[in-house]
Every structure is written in C-alpha cells, then in structure tokens.
Structure 1
Amino acid sequence: MNVQLPLIAVVALVGYFGIKMLRPPTWLVVVLLLGGFLLADTFIGPAIESGTQTGVDVINESGK
C-alpha cells in the first residue's frame, strides 16, 4: 500500500512538531524561512532543487 503526501504537507508537519517540541525563538524560525526563500532565487537554487529531488528519490526508493 502506497500513501502519497505532498512534500509541503510533510514539511509542515515536521515544522509544526519541531516548533512545538524544541521551542526555538520566533526570530530564528523567521530568519531560516526567509533565508531559505531568498537562497532559492540565487545561483545555489539549482543545487537546492537537485538535493531536494535526490532526497525525495531516496525516500521513495526505500519504501519499495
């Protein structure tokens, strides 16, 4: 049986429980989110995309 979840749902769940359990300061969460958003539009963007896709492929292969 395969369960398919959008990546954003998984990221949102991990983020929600990470914030609830680790209690990082709000400013740190905002800086990390903004920094990631801004980095995605630089020359590092393709490397981030490739790494993310590779990670998703590894997770999908391990479930088979």
Structure 2
Amino acid sequence: MNDEWGEEVREMCNLSQGIEEKGIRKGLKQGIEQGITQQKQNTISFIKEMQKKGWSAEEILASLTNIEIE
C-alpha cells in the first residue's frame, strides 16, 4: 500500500510541477508581449511629440537609434 501511495504522490507532484512550469512560461510570454506593446506605444508618443516640436524625421530617427547626423 505504501508503494502505491508513494507512486501516486510522485505523479501528483510531477503534474503540479508541469502545471507550474506551463504557467510560468505563459506569464513570461504575456509579459514580453505587453512590454513590446508598451514600448511601441512609447515610441509612437515620442515621435508625435518630437514632430510637434519641429524635429525632422532624420533627427527623430537619430534620437531613437543613437546615430549622429552629419
């Protein structure tokens, strides 16, 4: 009887570990997607703000990519 219980406990532990790992992967994926979306929104807001200030497309691009304009 002990061996049967031990095996069931091991199976349940493996199952719960698998569920936890799947949840972690899902959470990481969602976090990365949210971060990318937020960065895109921030970049768009920055571009619009710089356009309002009269920056040229080249100046905005240089600012975003840290490239100097000659």
Name the TM-score, length of structure 1 as normaliser.
0.32
RCO higher in 1 or 2 (8 Å CA, sep ≥ 6)?
2
- Higher alpha-carbon Rg: 2
TM-score by length of 2: 0.30
Q: Name the structure where helix makes up a greater proportion of residues.
A: 2
